[in-house]
Amino acid sequence: MTQTAPRLSPQEIERIARRIDRPIVLVGLMGVGKSTVGRRLANLLGVGFVDVDEQIERAADRSVAEIFDEFGEPYFRDGERRVIARLMGETHGVIATGGGAFVDPETRALIRDKAISVWLDCDIETLVERTARRDSRPLLRSGDPHAILLALKEERGDSYAQADCHVVTDDGPHNATALRILEAIDSWL
């Protein structure tokens, strides 16, 4: 079911934007829409947007899948932590992380210390459908994506629940999700 979009006037959005004094870091499972919704949110707030996976790929001159293959996941997680720490120092905009970042205890502590964290959440069927559009995610290559995503949701739920805000997304417009994030941040601040 599509949720109704909050009605926030440009003045209200501006008022919320003025209260935000830290970067906003989006966390949650693969396919939940962290990058698309993140871009929309940054647009609403008039701030910059960065995608952590893209930054890692640029720094390593390799795709995420190649980094996993050549160096392994622990190496990727260390690089991910360094990139997130750097970005949080450089921007007060919106940062979309890869799905495993907030599960790493050190990375999670860093984000909780320096940013407003928002857990984007949605049902498994939507995640399966969205992740099927691109074959770039190494963790989904080893078996049935539905079973893998279900297991990850179960394993990672307690970590994601430590985010400052929890926003459930649906098939509705990304703009509506971005507005719901703003409302959640406004109540949390």
Task: Please give the residue ranges that form the binding site for ligand S3P (CB under 6 A).
Answer: 30, 34, 53, 64, 98-100, 137-139
CA atoms within a 13 Å half-sphere pointing along the CA-CB vector of 22: 18
Task: Point out which residues pair with 96 in neighbouring strands.
Answer: 26, 51
CA angle 154, 159, 162 (to 5 degrees): 130
- The least CB distance from residue 123 to ligand S3P, in Å, is 16
Q: How far is the CB of 131 from ligand S3P (least distance, A)?
A: 7
Q: Smallest distance, Å, CB 154 to ligand S3P?
A: 13
- Nearer to ligand S3P by C-beta: 16 or 121? 121
17 within 8 A of 62, measured Cβ to Cβ: no
Residue nearest to ligand S3P (CB): 98
Q: Which is nearer to ligand S3P, 16 or 139 (CB)?
A: 139
> Of the two residues 55 and 91, which places its CB atom closer to ligand S3P in the complex?
55
CB of 90 to ligand S3P, least distance (A): 20
> Which residue, 93 or 98, is less far from ligand S3P as judged by CB?
98
Nearer Cβ to ligand S3P (23/99):
99
Cβ proximity of 182 and 41 under 8 Å: yes
